[in-house]
Amino acid sequence: MKLLVIEKGKKLKEKNLLFKLIGTSMIWSAIIPIIIVDIYATIYQEIYFTIQGIPKIKRSNYLNFDRWNLSKLSIGQKISCIYCGYANGIVAWFKALVNQTETYSCAVKHQYEMPGQDHQSSFAEYKEYL
C-alpha cells in the first residue's frame, strides 16, 4: 500500500472538479455510519462489558485532534483533520472493543492467520477444538 505524501511547498495535481466533489461527498458521507458506530459501541461496552466483568477501554485514548494546532493548515484542512481523527479513532476503538470481546468470550484462534488479529497470539489453537 502506498501512502500519498505531499512534499513541502508542492501541491497535488489539479483533478476534475466533478471528481473532487464526488470524492469529498463520499468521504463526508461516512460520518453518519461512524456516528452510529460510536453510539452503538458506547452502549455495547456499557452493557456487555459491565455484565461480563470485562475491563472497559477508554474511548478518549483513541481520539487525537492534535492537527488542529498546525498553523500552516487552512480552517477547511483543520476541519478535515478533525474528521479524520474522529473517524479513525472511532474505528480503532471499535476494533479494540471487538478484540476485547473476543479475548474474554471466545479465545480460540482462527484456522488460518489473518491480518489485524495479533491479539489472538495467546488464544488456544483452532485444531484443539476440532
Residue 18, pLDDT above cutoff 90? no
Give 108's strand partners. 124
User: What is the rounded average pLDDT of the residues 115-121?
Assistant: 89
- Say how many C-beta atoms besides its own lie within 10 A of residue 125's C-beta: 10
Q: What is the pTM of this model?
A: 0.81
Give 124's strand partners. 108
What pLDDT digit, counting tens, does each position of 69-113 carry? 888 888 988 999 999 999 999 999 999 999 999 999 998 999 998
Rounded to 10 degrees, the C-alpha dihedral 1/117/87/30 comes to 80
pLDDT band, very low/low/confident/very high, at 15 (cuts 50, 70, 90): low
Cell of 63: 481520539
Cell of 17: 472538479
Residue 31, pLDDT above cutoff 80? yes
- What does the domain layout of the chain look like in residue ranges? 17-129
